[in-house]
Amino acid sequence: MQTYRNTVDGLLSEPVSSYEIFNPANGQSLGFAPQSDEQEVERAVQAAMRAQKNWANQSDQERRDITLKIAQILEENSDYLAELITREQGKPLSGPGSRFEMQACVGWTQVPASLELPPETVYEDDERKDTLHRVPLGVVAAIAPWNWPLMIAIWQIIPAIRMGNTVVLKPSEYTPIATLEMVKLINDVLPAGVLNTVTGDGIIGSKLTHHPDISKIMFTGSESTGRQIIEASAKSLSPITLELGGNDAAIVMPGTNIKNIATDLFWGAFLNMGQTCACIKRLYVHEDDYETVMAELSAIASQMKIGDGMDESVLIGPLQNKMQLGKVQELVTDAKGAGCDIREFGEVPDQGYFMPITLVGNIKDGQRLVDEEQFGPALPIIRYSEVEDAIKSANRLEAGLGASLWTDEQAQASELATRLEAGTVWINQHGAIHPMVPFGGNKASGYGVEFGIEGLKAVTQGRVISIKK
């Protein structure tokens, strides 16, 4: 059985210990992941520090060219990496699954390579000229989650190195294998030390974020861990980009043609088995449209095949880990005990971390499945009578990553969108992120943005050069 290895200073690192990774669909062993220790974290950070100055001194065009070479490597190896993602994370190859994730990796690499962030004249008169330059921060600590392990890692890696930083990446301990293989491939075109990895649980993540030579932290994950990272950054004063998940609300406006939006609503909620930060987690439906929404979503759910994502006909796979499966099942059980209408769809395999696609009706604000982010294939559908009530419900929780409005009257929705407390408000779509469009959370869903020009700025610091004429 293969033991995968970290990349440190351009070389594969011999692990001091390892642990086994299993396929969430069938429990089969996928091999062994390396377990980093404090010494490997130190080696990785020092390698990144040594490489950073030379990397930053390369011309902007040279870094852009190398970034495009990375995109080509990702494209050429997309089938190999997609299969690893499916076996390790669980999402199907087909539909909005692992191949889709690899397409996103390519796109989110090509776009930063195409962007420019030139010096900006911020003031000029007869006596002086002041120019703002964007310069790299140094060594970036990137901590990626298990739900979109390669795509989110790319969101962190590519803007950072594009702008002259170096990176130490820690993938989730649940899904390290595909990420380690991707980083190994990328290193074929990068100078040694520009991109390094360490692996392990939160203890290793803490060693990395507490390191005094880290100049920037990028983290996608839970709110509780995000708060710990904020504390860790205080000593080094490292700036942070935090994406701490969400409990996204979607509001279907009264009288909307439900048939026209039902498929988009379904995938807005059940993309990656609901294990996506910007998924619909709470669906608010006008009382007159409630039965129609339940019927339309039920019809779609009943057609979905649940199983091992290596089967090309499967669009719904397992949850990634036993802990997450147990959490979602507990929330559904709580709703069932409260007398909610539980509708389950799909034949669940005997082995693996599977659960049915679950629609939960006759549920209200304040119940656990509504108020706690489920991060799984169970959608609470809540009736409302007045649009004002739905807006208040959407805003009442501390989560503020995304939200959406669904309507046949877009002019009305555009006005209401300004009142929803979320980093992104979509109209007639949900989770429709784009590499040119800034993305980030409000309130307890984090701060800072990724993507586009604003994302490049987030991995740099300003330097003003002021000239007396």
Catalytic option among 105, 277, 279, 340: 277
Measured between alpha carbons, how far is 140 from 157 in angstroms, rounded to an integer?
9
DSSP result, 63-102: HHHHHHHHHHHHHHTHHHHHHHHHHHH---SSSSSHHHHH
Considering the candidates 101, 173, 243, 373, report the single residue annotated as catalytic.
243
- For residue 221, the model assigns a pLDDT of 92
Q: What percentage of residues in the chain have a pLDDT greater than 70?
A: 100
Q: 1: part of which helix (H) or strand (E)?
A: none
Strands 402-406 and 424-427: what pairing? parallel
Q: How many CA atoms lie within 13 A of 99 on its CB side?
A: 9
Q: Which of 81-85, 95-99, 228-232, 400-404 has the lowest mean pLDDT?
A: 228-232
Q: What is the pLDDT of residues 248-280, one digit of tens each?
A: 999 999 999 999 999 999 999 999 999 999 999
Specify the number of domains making up the chain.
2
Looking at the structure, do residues 187 and 314 belong to the same domain, yes or no? Answer: no
* Same-domain check for residues 346 and 232: no
- Domain presence at residue 2: no
- Angle between helix 78-89 and 149-162 (nearest 10): 130
Do 284 and 229 belong to one domain? no
11 and 130 share a domain?
yes
243 is catalytic: yes
Both 169 and 22 in one domain: the answer is yes
Give the pLDDT confidence score for residue 410 in this predicted structure: 85
Instruction: Assign residue 180 the CATH number of its domain.
Output: 3.40.605.10
224/281 same-domain check:
no
Q: Is 270 helix (H, G, I), strand (E, B) or coil?
A: helix
User: String of b and e for 164-187 (b: at least 16 CB within 10 Å)?
Assistant: bbbbbbbbbbbbbbbbbbbbbbbb
Residue 63 resides in a domain: yes
Per-residue confidence (pLDDT) for residue 237, from 0 to 100: 87
Residue 187 has pLDDT above 90, yes or no: yes
pLDDT recorded at residue 412: 84
| In the predicted structure, residue 126 carries a pLDDT above the cut 90 | yes
What's the whole-number average pLDDT of the chain?
97
Containing structural domain, residue 222: 7-244+445-468
pLDDT for the residue 116: 93
* Type of residue numbered 313: S
pLDDT at 1 over 90: no
The amino acid present at 311, given as its one-letter code, is D
Tokens read off for 71 = 């995109």
CB 129 within 8 A of CB 123: yes
For residues 134 and 228, membership in a common domain is answered with yes
In a domain, 74, yes or no: yes
Are the CB atoms for 22 and 29 separated by under 8 Å? yes
Q: What is the pLDDT of residue 234?
A: 84
Coil vs helix vs strand at 244? coil
Given a cut of 90, is residue 440 above it in pLDDT?
A: yes
Task: State yes or no: pLDDT of 418 exceeds 90.
Answer: yes
Provide the β-strand partners of residue 243: 220, 446
Q: Assign residue 364 the CATH number of its domain.
A: 3.40.309.10
Same domain, 206 and 284: no
Burial class (CB in 10 A: 0-12, 13-18, 19+), 391: buried
Same-domain check for residues 53 and 198: yes
Q: Domain for residue 405, yes or no?
A: yes
450 and 419, same structural domain? no
The average pLDDT across 181-185 equals: 98
Q: Looking at the domain assignment, is residue 120 inside a domain?
A: yes
- Phi, psi dihedral angles at 333 (to 5 degrees): -60, -40
DSSP string computed for 119-155: -EEEEE-SSEEEEEEEEE-SEEEEE--SSSHHHHHHH
Placement of tokens 């293989």 in the chain = 181
119 has a pLDDT exceeding 90: yes
The answer on 240 and 253 residing in a single domain is no
Concerning whether 277 is annotated as a catalytic residue, the answer is yes
On the CB side of 135, CA atoms within 13 Å amount to 12
Q: Is residue 45 part of a domain?
A: yes
Alpha helices in 211-307 (DSSP H): 223-236, 258-270, 290-301
pLDDT tens for each residue of 146-160: 999 999 999 999 999
Question: Is there a single domain that holds both residue 203 and residue 87?
Answer: yes
Tens of pLDDT along 40-92? 999 999 999 999 999 999 999 999 999 999 999 999 999 999 999 999 999 99
**Does any domain span residue 298?**
yes
131-140, 163-172, 225-234: the lowest-pLDDT one: 225-234
102 within a domain of the structure (yes/no): yes
